[in-house]
Amino acid sequence: MADTTSNTTRMLALLAELRREMNGVAADAMRSYGGQYGVNYGVAAHTIREKASALPHDHEFAEYLYRQDVRELRIAGLWLAEPECVTSDDLPFWVAGMINSEVAEQAALALFSHVECINEMLEEWSHSTDVLPPYAAMLAAARNERTAASAAYGPLFRIINAFPDNRLAGQGAVALLASLAERDREGVDAFIASLPENQTADFVRDEMSWRLETI
């Protein structure tokens, strides 16, 4: 059974450190990310990472922090989580806390880019009606060395079709395709040629046209 008293004590200590870095102006500016946190102190993401990185990885404590409706604690939880503990069965838990694009981006960078189940994650989240899970999965897959090109094209095509006019879907797709092009240029070229006619696909084609020139 989890020691909730210990977790609470540790959480309050971490929160006290983070609150010293609070920035109300920055918190107000974060509304562009979408869904709002219950509490947001406006601490810079890199500062949250530094504070969390000073602590030992602890998956149970990380999940405890991620459940909190406090921006700084939720992001800190992502940096304290242990990638090897994340399985495909755990994906609904992480989706539940993904309330805006910032959480999706931090989750991709801190945690999902290192998990073993990245191909399963990309497949499962490509069926989502909310763009945030597939956005996070694409960003993570772009960085995760376990991402299989053969497992990526189907989900990518599905996402671009499902979100025909969505900036996040386009940005995530470009990140993943640019990564895949470094080892499967022909596959990426064929994929781009197969894209449908919609705004997201147009964005991907435009972005990849110049990115591929450097690969």
Instruction: List, for residues 95-148, the tens digit of each pLDDT value.
Output: 999 999 999 999 999 999 999 999 999 999 999 999 999 999 999 999 999 999
Q: What's the confidence (pLDDT) of residue 49?
A: 95
Tokens of 188: 């990426």
- Give 116-182 as a DSSP string: TTHHHHHHHHTT-SSSHHHHHHHHHHHH-TT--HHHHHHHHHHHHHHSTT-HHHHHHHHHHHHHHHT
pLDDT beneath 70: ranges in the chain: 1-4, 24-35
Smallest CA-to-CA distance from 43 within 65, 64, 27 is with 27
Distance CA 99, CA 124 (A): 18
Cα torsion 203, 209, 210, 215 to 10°: value is: 120
Q: Are 176 and 208 in contact (CB under 8 A)?
A: no
pLDDT at 26: 52
